[in-house]
């Protein structure tokens, strides 16, 4: 069964395509719940005209998932802004939710199939990191210091103190940890504090910046980040205390506090170590961060000729119509990837077969020679 209640045709099309592939892997009938326009498009993907799924359905494929709701059937969450990405939860040991189970299962996959091949993946991870850094145009430490000094002067902050940036918080989520960070900042004047969310400025070194700072200035000023989801900063040498949920939270790239006291302790350590010229970001953490960045941008972004890239935007519908009319699905990588995920009960859709390292070595593009 597929749920397609999105208004964006890009989200609808990719959810239907994954649902079609899951039905093939599970030998099930495709039933689609959604508005009339979505169901009309679903018929192109072979959906049944009736709206009566099996009881219970073999699986649920959706673009929107309630992370906290335990499920008794497999759930595939289609997401991303590349070609096609998906996370999956298989409740083989009883009802389970994305919130409780997925980060641990993703981390187990990462430890078993990605981290052991870090030397093989490394050059590709460096290339992906370079591409992901395109929004940050600082080319040297000198430029970073200049931008840092400019940003501090603009906000009336001391460039000699460590700067902690707090951002990515969603209202109503992780409230206790966000309030803990704000309270800590209120009582701490040994660092500069930048908040992307409205907070009271208890002292001159605590600032609400919203979206007023460019990526170049924000990254140049940030010595430690407190975030509430996945970010790329550890891959570029900026330590992150992740106070919110994400699929890759357990992969070892960030520091994850389990309680307000953990968060306070991490903040104290990060500020104290930075004041001594040290950092809480270890070399292994940075390497893990680059591998996880590569996974999100490449390793789990499955190419398919059947679906246009998300970046087609307003032209997506026209390109989709052309693809569906002229591209044959036989041999398309998407169907093989979905079958592999379904059969192995993997927690995420992957571009590569990570259980076959020899094949992985032949499909990764070698790093360009520097000679």
Q: H/E element holding 192?
A: strand 192-195
b/e burial code for range 10-35 (CB count within 10 A of at least 16 → b):
bbbbbbbbbbbbbbbbbebbbbbbbe
Strand partners, 219: none
Average pLDDT of the chain is 92
- Domain membership of residue 101 (yes or no) is no
| Whether residues 180 and 235 fall in one domain | yes
- Domain membership of residue 205 (yes or no) is yes
Strand order in the sheet with 224-227: 206-208, 192-195, 163-167, 224-227, 240-242
Confidence of residue 221 (pLDDT cuts 50, 70, 90): very high
pTM, to two decimals: 0.92
- Domain membership of residue 358 (yes or no) is no
| Whether residues 284 and 305 fall in one domain | no
| Whether residues 241 and 324 fall in one domain | no
| Whether residues 226 and 83 fall in one domain | no
Phi, then psi, of 77 in degrees rounded to 5? -100, 110
Residue 89, SS3 per DSSP = strand
Phi, then psi, of 330 in degrees rounded to 5? -60, 125
- Domain membership of residue 125 (yes or no) is no
Distance CA 84, CA 81 (A): 8
- 157-186 pLDDT, tens digit each: 999 999 999 999 999 999 999 999 999 999
Strand partners, 55: none
Instruction: For Cα atoms 265, 268, 271, give the angle at the middle one, nearest 5 degrees.
Output: 145
In 3D space, the residue among 246, 241, 291, 245 whose CA is nearest the CA of residue 268 turns out to be 241
Amino acid 367: pLDDT: 57
- 325-345 pLDDT, tens digit each: 999 888 899 999 999 999 999
| Whether residues 160 and 61 fall in one domain | no
- Domain membership of residue 264 (yes or no) is yes
How crowded is the C-beta side of 196, counted as CA atoms within 13 Å? Answer: 18
- 90-128 pLDDT, tens digit each: 998 788 899 999 999 999 999 999 999 999 999 999 999
| Whether residues 166 and 310 fall in one domain | no
| Whether residues 152 and 229 fall in one domain | yes
- Domain membership of residue 127 (yes or no) is no
- Domain membership of residue 367 (yes or no) is no
| Whether residues 141 and 51 fall in one domain | no
Q: Copy the structure tokens of residue 129.
A: 């990191």
| Whether residues 225 and 152 fall in one domain | yes
* Domain assignment of residue 260, given as a range: 136-288
Which of 240, 263, 288 is the endpoint of a domain? 288
Distance CA 239, CA 50 (A): 52
- Domain membership of residue 119 (yes or no) is no
Q: Check which CATH number belongs to the domain holding 255 and give it.
A: 3.40.50.2000
Q: Residues for the chain: how many in total? A: 371
Pick the range with the lowest mean pLDDT from 121-135, 201-215, 353-367: 353-367
Count: domains in the chain? 2
| Whether residues 188 and 307 fall in one domain | no
């Amino acid at each position: 069964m597929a749920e397609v209640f999105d208004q964006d045709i890009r989200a609808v099309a990719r959810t239907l395509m994954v649902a079609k592939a899951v039905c093939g892997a599970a030998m099930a009938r495709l039933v689609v719940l959604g508005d009339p326009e979505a169901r009309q498009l679903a018929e192109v993907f072979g959906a049944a005209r009736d709206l009566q799924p099996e009881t219970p359905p073999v699986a649920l494929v959706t673009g929107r998932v309630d992370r906290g709701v335990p499920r008794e059937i497999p759930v595939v969450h289609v997401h991303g802004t590349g070609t096609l990405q998906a996370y999956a939860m298989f409740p083989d040991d009883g009802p389970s939710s994305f919130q409780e189970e997925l980060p641990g299962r993703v981390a187990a996959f990462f430890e078993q199939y990605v981290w052991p091949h870090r030397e093989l993946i490394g050059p590709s991870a460096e290339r992906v990191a370079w591409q992901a850094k395109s929004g940050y145009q600082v080319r040297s430490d000198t430029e970073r210091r200049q931008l840092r000094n400019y940003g501090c002067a603009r906000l009336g902050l001391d460039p000699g103190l460590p700067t902690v940036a707090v951002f990515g918080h969603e209202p109503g989520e992780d409230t206790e940890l966000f309030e803990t960070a704000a309270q800590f900042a209120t009582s701490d004047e040994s660092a500069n504090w930048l908040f992307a969310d409205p907070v009271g400025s208890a002292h001159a070194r605590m600032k609400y910046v919203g979206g007023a700072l460019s990526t170049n200035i924000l990254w140049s000023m940030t010595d430690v980040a407190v975030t509430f989801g996945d970010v790329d900063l550890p891959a570029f040498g900026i330590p992150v205390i992740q106070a919110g949920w994400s699929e890759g939270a357990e992969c070892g790239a960030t520091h994850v506090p389990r309680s307000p006291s953990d968060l306070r302790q991490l903040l104290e350590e990060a500020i104290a170590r930075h004041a001594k010229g040290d950092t809480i970001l270890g070399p292994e953490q940075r390497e893990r961060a680059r591998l996880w960045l590569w996974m999100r941008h490449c390793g789990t972004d499955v190419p398919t000729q059947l679906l246009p890239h998300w970046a087609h935007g307003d032209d997506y519908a026209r390109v989709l119509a052309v693809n569906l009319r002229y591209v044959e699905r036989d041999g398309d990588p998407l169907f093989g990837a979905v079958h592999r995920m379904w059969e192995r009960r993997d927690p995420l859709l992957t571009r590569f077969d990570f259980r076959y390292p020899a094949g992985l070595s032949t499909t990764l593009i070698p790093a360009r020679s520097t000679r």
